[in-house]
Amino acid sequence: MIRMNAHWSQHLEALLDTLRALSVRDRAGAELDPNEGFARWCARTLELRENRRAIYLIGNGASASMASHFAADLAKNGHLHTEVFSDLSLITAISNDISFEQVFAEPLKRRASEGDMLIAISSSGRSPNVLAAARVARERGLTLVTLSAMAQDNPLRQSGDLNFYVPARAYGFAESAHAVILHNYMDMVQAQTPAEGVS
């Protein structure tokens, strides 16, 4: 007989251990207390809202779903201008005519301006299309926030102004942890959002 409760308890403890091991580093690679990392992220987001700048969110697969989910939450509950590059015609045109590696970088070049933010989500931290967009963000003067997992030395973790990393080795744990991180960020932003209207 399978002991489902024991399995669930083990799974839950492993996920909690993953979340407790959250590492946040700044652009120089200095380790920040997670609360400080979230506070900086939220403060920068509120500045963007005040200055009517945009937040772009990118990812592949489940990370693309998270990008879309939190773009909607930030727009609806945070009163921010957000954008994801999920239009099927745009994705297939860039993939076919240029390359899939440029599927986020190309529209980001056309739409983003200095002072905007890019939130880049990649479980492996090695997705070529996410890394290409991260390079554009750096070149264009965007604030770059990264969420990654797997290898500690993954290249995405080295590229952001704020880099949120969890030592998950499985995609399920990485994706679950990233969703928790994004929800915490969203809750902080929403707590600083007027009930009605755009600030």
pLDDT at residue 4 tops 50: yes
The DSSP string of 3-31 is: -HHHHHHHHHHHHHHHHHT-EEEETT--E
Q: How far apart are CA 38 and CA 52, in angstroms?
A: 21
Q: How confident is the model at residue 74 (pLDDT cuts 50, 70, 90)?
A: very high
pLDDT of residue 148: 98
pTM above threshold 0.85: yes
Domains along the chain with CATH numbers: 24-191 (3.40.50.10490)
Mean of the per-residue pLDDT values of the chain: 95
